């Protein structure tokens, strides 16, 4: 976040005096960095099966197991 703020502030504080195009490019880079960082930080590994973790609610877990085909529906 500090890098983004530094890029943005320096782009419009003094880089624009030499080149508006460079300042716009720096601002664009500052705009792209936070989403790219969040995508990289929240990336799941190929062996990470977080969606199979139980939620802690037995009724909900049973319902999802039935919907996913892991469990046959019981008698009503």
Q: What is the pLDDT of residues 11-68, one digit of tens each?
A: 999 999 999 999 999 999 999 999 999 998 888 776 776 666 777 888 888 888 888 7
Q: What is the reported pTM?
A: 0.56
The C-alpha angle with vertex 42 and arms to 52 and 59, in degrees rounded to 5, equals: 25
Burial 38-54 (b: 16+ CB within 10 A, else e): eeeeeeeeeeeeeeeee
The answer to whether 24 and 31 are in contact (CB under 8 A) is no
Q: Does an H or E element contain 29, and which?
A: helix 20-41
| pLDDT of residue 73 exceeding 80 | no
Position of tokens 């529906």?
A: 73
Q: What are the domain boundaries of the chain?
A: 1-38
């Amino acid at each position: 976040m500090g890098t983004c703020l530094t890029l943005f502030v320096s782009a419009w504080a003094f880089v624009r005096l030499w080149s508006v195009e460079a300042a716009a490019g720096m601002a664009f880079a500052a705009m792209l960095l936070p989403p790219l960082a969040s995508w990289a930080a929240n990336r799941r590994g190929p062996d990470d099966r977080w969606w199979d973790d139980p939620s802690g609610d037995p009724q909900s877990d049973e319902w999802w197991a039935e919907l996913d085909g892991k469990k046959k529906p019981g008698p009503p």
